[in-house]
Amino acid sequence: MFWKKDKEKKEERSAGVNRSFQDFLKAAHLEMEGLMVQDPRWFYNLPYQGAMSLEKAKNLEIEKRAIWRRVIYDARRTQLAGLRWETRNDELVCPDCQKMDNRIFSFREYDILNEIIMHVGCRCNLVSVRE
Ligand SMILES: [Zn+2]
């Protein structure tokens, strides 16, 4: 029985150390499904809507979320000093994101940053802070 436990631990470790982008996409997909249930009209309130189909917008939202999480994950893995929250700085930025504009999350704050759920339609970025 011990070997199984060890094997599980080893899998957890390797998943923790070397998560593939597919893993991030899977998690982002679940997160997006949850957000869509919370706001069934999500598609009609997008700041970037344009001529995009609902399916395309959903995929964009999932990919954006996966990238966001991976940026945090990579920052931790590479011991980056910090990540700066950057909005698009236009009239479409929501009040919650406006409050975050230029906020720097230090290495020790990555867990806090990772707990924030990006709202649907968010166009913010995380920028590397090296010192
Ligand atoms: Zn935002």
The domain spans of the chain are: 20-129
Give per-residue pLDDT as tens, 73-101.
999 999 999 999 999 999 999 999 999 99
Tokens found for residue 1:
């029985």
Please state the pTM of the whole predicted model: 0.83
How many angstroms does the Cα of residue 122 sit away from the middle of ligand 1?
4
Pairwise CA distance, residues 104 & 33, whole Å: 29
Give per-residue pLDDT as tens, 5-25.
565 555 555 545 578 999 999
How many angstroms does the Cα of residue 78 sit away from the middle of ligand 1?
25
Give per-residue pLDDT as tens, 40-77.
999 988 988 777 899 999 999 999 999 999 999 999 99
How confident is the model at residue 65, as a pLDDT? 97
How many angstroms does the Cα of residue 124 sit away from the middle of ligand 1?
4
SS3 for 1-38, per residue? CHHHHHHHHHHHHHHHHCCCHHHHHHHHHHHHHHHHHH
Q: How many residues does the chain have?
A: 131
Q: Kindly report the CA angle at 92 between 33 and 44, in degrees rounded to 5?
A: 40
How many angstroms does the Cα of residue 48 sit away from the middle of ligand 1?
12
How many angstroms does the Cα of residue 10 sit away from the middle of ligand 1?
36
